[in-house]
């Protein structure tokens, strides 16, 4: 440990977070302090961006000291604003574990799927209808009919994800979404995954932890926020390589990569750029916060 501190100058790290008391923010703060760094929690919703003679960020009326590194924890409701704040830090030559581009690429489920497939990463068969679509039978056929999944493009915690088991249910959801001008996609239902998926936590180019999540009885969504439970698992070589490749393709220095174990092999369901630490640290007992800070130190040394 001593040698480590001698070789590496201590960093000033900003955690971009709106909730200093959240488990993930507190753990990252604790890990960074524990490794001898200075840490400040900066609420990205309160950042003012000054662009003109150089790039600067003002916070609570004062110019922010330029940090060495930022850890963005940007929630879905502030993707646009948060990505602009992260980009401003990039303009100031500050390192960030999540780039503005990576955040934008991964956040929208359609855009993320396009990017993944373009890089030969398999995803469930997905369909994005044209505007003013009315032929619901045709739309259902595009993903091999019912049962099928309908989801909001920016869903989180499983809240915008629906399973239509019958044609009548599918019509009800699609009519409702079309009426309310909700942006959605339609996806084949991977029934063999049976309410289970795999959350892989990638930091840099390695997997630091993985858990299998299981949905509660009567629920197809395995999100911990929807009552799912986790269990530490060993990944296959294929799953491990797939998760690392996905994080890399999406330009994310850390990522929660969600896999479905389908009959045709692992499929990437989505990639989270602000993956929560609470569930996965609890179920796998891995100190993920420490792994993140340690990775940041290594990239600075390079």
**What is the DSSP-derived secondary structure letter of residue 18?**
S
Of 189 and 201, CB closest to ligand ADP: 189
- Show the CA angle centred on residue 59, arms to residues 15 and 45, nearest 5°: 65
Contact stretch for ligand ADP (CB under 6 A) within 80-88, 110-118, 151-159, 285-293: 151-159
Q: Which of 157, 166, 231, 232: binder of ligand ADP (CB under 6 A)?
A: 157
Q: What is the closest distance, in whole angstroms, from the C-beta atom of residue 195 to ligand ADP in the complex?
A: 6
Using CB atoms within 10 A of its CB, is residue 239 exposed (0-12), middle (13-18) or buried (19+)?
Answer: buried
With contacts defined by CB under 6 A, name the span among 28-36, 55-63, 128-136, 159-167 that binds ligand ADP.
159-167
CA proximity to 84, closest of 59, 51, 120: 51
281: contact with ligand ADP by CB under 6 A? no
Q: Counting contacts by CB under 6 A, is residue 269 touching ligand ADP?
A: yes
- Shortest separation between residue 106's beta carbon and ligand ADP, angstroms: 11
Q: How far is the CB of 237 from ligand ADP (least distance, A)?
A: 23
Cα 168 off chain centre by: 32
To the nearest whole angstrom, how small is the minimum distance from the Cβ of residue 163 to ligand ADP?
8
What is the C-alpha to C-alpha distance for residues 290 and 287, in angstroms, rounded to an integer?
A: 6
- Cα dist. 301→11, 40, 144, 253 in Å? 11, 21, 50, 15
Q: Is 155 an interacting residue with respect to ligand ADP (CB under 6 A)?
A: yes
**Residue closest to 44 by CA, chosen among 91, 94, 79:** 79
CB of 158 to ligand ADP, least distance (A): 4
Work out whether 124 is an interface residue with ligand ADP (CB under 6 A).
yes
Please name the residues in contact with 73: beta carbons below 8 A apart, sequence gap of 6 or more.
15, 16, 17, 22, 24, 25, 28, 274
156 binds ligand ADP (CB under 6 A): yes
Q: Smallest gap, in angstroms, from Cβ of residue 157 to ligand ADP?
A: 5
94 DSSP assignment = -
Q: Of these, 96, 99, 115, 222, which contacts ligand ADP (CB under 6 A)?
A: 222
CA–CA gap between residue 93 and residue 68 (Å, rounded): 9
> Would you state the structure tokens that stand for residue 92, as one six-digit string?
């100031």
How far apart, in whole angstroms, are the C-alpha atoms of residue 22 and residue 197?
24
Establish if 147 lies at the interface with ligand ADP (CB under 6 A): no
Query: Which one, 268 or 296, has the nearer CB to ligand ADP?
Result: 268
Applying CB under 6 A, among 44, 197, 202, 291 the residue interacting with ligand ADP is 197
Q: Quick one: which of 97, 174, 185, 190 contacts ligand ADP (CB under 6 A)?
A: 190
Q: How many residues bind ligand ADP (CB under 6 A)?
A: 23
**What does the DSSP 8-state code read for residue 98?**
B
Q: Which residue has the tokens 């091999």?
A: 144
Binding site for ligand ADP (CB under 6 A): 124, 149, 151, 155-161, 187, 189-190, 193, 197, 220-223, 258, 260, 269-270
């Amino acid at each position: 440990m001593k040698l480590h501190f001698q070789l590496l100058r201590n960093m000033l790290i900003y955690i971009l977070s709106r909730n200093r008391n959240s488990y993930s923010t507190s753990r990252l703060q604790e890990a960074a302090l524990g490794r001898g760094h200075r840490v400040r929690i900066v609420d990205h919703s309160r950042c003012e961006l000054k662009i003109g003679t150089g790039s600067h960020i003002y916070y609570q009326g004062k110019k922010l000291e330029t940090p060495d590194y930022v850890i963005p924890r940007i929630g879905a409701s502030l993707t646009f604003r948060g990505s602009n704040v992260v980009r401003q830090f990039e303009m100031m030559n500050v390192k960030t574990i999540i780039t503005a581009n990576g955040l934008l690429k991964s956040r929208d489920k359609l855009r993320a799927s396009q990017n993944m497939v373009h890089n030969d990463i398999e995803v469930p068969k997905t369909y994005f209808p044209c505007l003013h679509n009315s032929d619901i039978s045709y739309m259902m056929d595009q993903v091999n009919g019912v049962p099928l999944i309908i989801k909001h493009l920016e869903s989180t915690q499983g809240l915008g994800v629906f399973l239509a088991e019958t044609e009548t249910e599918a019509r009800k959801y699609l009519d409702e979404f079309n009426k309310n001008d909700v942006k959605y996609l339609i996806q084949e239902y991977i029934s063999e995954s049976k309410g289970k998926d795999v959350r892989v936590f990638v930091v840099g180019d390695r997997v630091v932890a993985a858990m299998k999540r299981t949905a509660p009885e009567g629920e197809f969504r395995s999100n911990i926020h929807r009552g799912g439970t986790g269990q530490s698992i060993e990944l296959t070589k294929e799953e491990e390589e797939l998760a690392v490749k996905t994080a890399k393709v999406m330009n994310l220095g850390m990522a929660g990569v969600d896999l479905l174990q389908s009959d045709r092999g692992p499929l990437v369901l989505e990639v989270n750029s602000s993956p929560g630490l609470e569930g996965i640290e609890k179920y796998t007992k891995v100190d993920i916060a420490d792994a993140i800070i340690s990775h940041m130190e290594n990239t600075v040394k390079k």
